[in-house]
Chain A
Amino acid sequence: MITIRSLHKSFGSLQVLQGIDYEIKEKEVICIIGPSGSGKSTFLRCINLLEEITRGEIFIDGIQVNDPKTDINEIRKEVGMVFQQFNLFPHMRVIDNITMAPIKIRKMGKTDADTLARQLLKKVGLADKADAYPEQLSGGQKQRVAIARALAMKPKVMLFDEPTSALDPEMVKEVLDVMKQLALEGMTMVVVTHEMGFAKEVGDRVAFMDNGLLVEEGTPDELFNQPKNERTKAFFSKVLV
């Protein structure tokens, strides 16, 4: 579903991604782990072209994302993204946060969008928060709304960039549970995370990124229990799995 070939990304003279090849199949949950600054966020942001790609190719459903002829907005409709800092729209009620893109971008009717948004809010356990404003929510609630907002576009794949890193520990679980549910429903997901438990339990495959390269990847069992690469081993010895 997503094919990445020889992906390079530099910021000026700083080479952040140095040639990544990867293939993500439909319904797969890929977890990306790795030290800070290794390029995980950049990698994710290249997939929906929030970062311009320096070199290489990314295909989603056979369409080349970084072809100048491709309408990037069409691609982004199909690729949901959840950010570490939630990025809810503070001037809109929760329900409007969720219905806005379906109405304005998918041209969905108001009542249909409203019904959909309420379904999604129920799904993330926030049915009673439809009329609240983001500032009235806790971090965990905000992130669940952000997930609902992305899902409202009915994307084919969801990208998560450390969705629980900005949360107080007691709120991490409520967000991970929603993500777990989503994975069970067959959503294709790429998740950058430091939650090794989640990667082990939910990930179909785990990839370890270091210095702008996917150094090693495999099933959670392969990666966590029998890492082959020295750098992977060194990383795990530090983070205590």
Chain B
Amino acid sequence: MDILDFRFDAIWNYRELFIRGLWITLGLTVVGYAGGLILGLFVGLGKLSKKKWVYYPAKYYVDFFRGTPLLVQLLLIHTALIPSIFGHSLGFFVSGAVALMLNSAAYNAEIIRAGINSIEKGQMEAARSLGMPYKTAMRLIILPQALRRMIPPFGNELIALMKDSSLVSMIAGSELLYAGKVVAGATLRPWEPYLTVAVLYLLLTFIFGKLISYVEKRFSNSYVPSPRKQRLSVGRTEAGG
């Protein structure tokens, strides 16, 4: 095949398939990521717990989801777990989002554990010495500082999860890669559909990357608000009071 003999007009007829795939990939990413953050917070806190009955379930959870391939987890959830709970499949989106969520929660748990551990011991001691219960100190003193340090690894996790969502094509989930597969089969041309898919993934990576660097800049190392923001907030107070 001549590489220069691309015929992207063949793809154009299938544009709606790709656009739909793009949205589904985006949906899987957003739902899986948000769920993974919340669940990961609990699992991460569990891994920090001194109570054995909290610590061990959290540890085994992380070990399982980080130690087995996502594809295996996805198939287990889609073909075994969900059908045995509900009696039938709930569709690829539910299975895919749940698998991505459970999987990324394990990685997020480690990010959260490491972030919390990176806060100097003195912070917790100072809070406790003021009479603050452990949970309050965690919420008001430790987590706000730790979350900042977690932003860069959380950003990496978002992009990784977005790319991992392509595995949902293996359970016939009509996300982006699946659209490429279908079109490749229909046109018998492998280059154009898969290149299109790759470019669309790149586009998503680019957008997420921009988003992440915006958030990172917003929560830079310094806690002191930038002069512009300070002036704005002063303005608001004056207007309000």
Residues of A within 8 A of B (CB): 48, 50, 73-77, 79-81, 83, 85, 87-91, 100-101, 104-105, 133-136, 146, 149-150, 153
Contacts and interface: CB of A to CB of B under 8 A. Distances in A.
B131 A89 contact: no
Contacts of B127: 89
Interface string B140-167: 1100110010000000000000000000
A50 B131 contact: no
A104 B122 contact: no
Nearest to A159: B129
Contacts of A75: 131
Interface of B: 120, 122-123, 125-133, 136, 140-141, 144-145, 148, 222-224
Given A91-B223, A104-B140, A136-B224, A48 B145 contact: no
Contacts of B130: 76-77, 80, 100-101, 105, 149-150, 153
Contacts of B141: 89
9 contacts: A75-B131, A76-B128, A88-B126, A91-B144, A91-B223, A133-B224, A134-B223, A149-B130, A153-B130
Nearest to B234: A131
Nearest to A134: B223
B175 to A, nearest CB: 39
B222 to A, nearest CB: 7
B224 A50 contact: no
Contacts of B122: 83, 85, 87
A158 B223 CA distance: 29
A194 to B, nearest CB: 19
A83 B122 CA distance: 8
B126 A87 contact: yes
A73 B125 CA distance: 12
Nearest to B144: A91
A87 B125 contact: yes
Contacts of A77: 130-131
Contacts of A101: 130-132
A80 B133 CA distance: 15
A79 B129 contact: yes
A48 B126 CA distance: 11
B-side interface mostly: helix
B136 A104 contact: yes
A104 B132 contact: yes
Contacts of A79: 129
A83 B126 contact: yes
Nearest to A50: B125
Given A76-B128, A83-B125, A133-B224, 5 more contacts: A91-B148, A91-B223, A101-B131, A135-B222, A135-B224
A73 B131 CA distance: 4
Nearest to B122: A87
Contact of A76 (B120, B123, B129, B224): B129
Pairs of residues from A and B, 3 with the lowest C-beta to C-beta distance, nearest first: A87-B126, A77-B131, A87-B122
Contact of B223 (A85, A90, A100, A153): A90
B68 to A, nearest CB: 37
B136 A48 contact: no
A100 B139 CA distance: 13
A135 B136 CA distance: 23
B208 to A, nearest CB: 26
B240 to A, nearest CB: 15
Given A135-B222, A135-B223, A89 B126 contact: yes
A131 B133 CA distance: 26
Contacts of B125: 50, 83, 87
Nearest to A100: B140
A212 to B, nearest CB: 21
Contacts of B129: 48, 50, 76, 79-81, 150
B87 to A, nearest CB: 48
A81 B224 CA distance: 26
Nearest to A90: B223
B50 to A, nearest CB: 12
Contacts of B132: 73, 101, 104-105
Contacts of A80: 129-130
Contact of B131 (A105, A133, A135, A149): A105
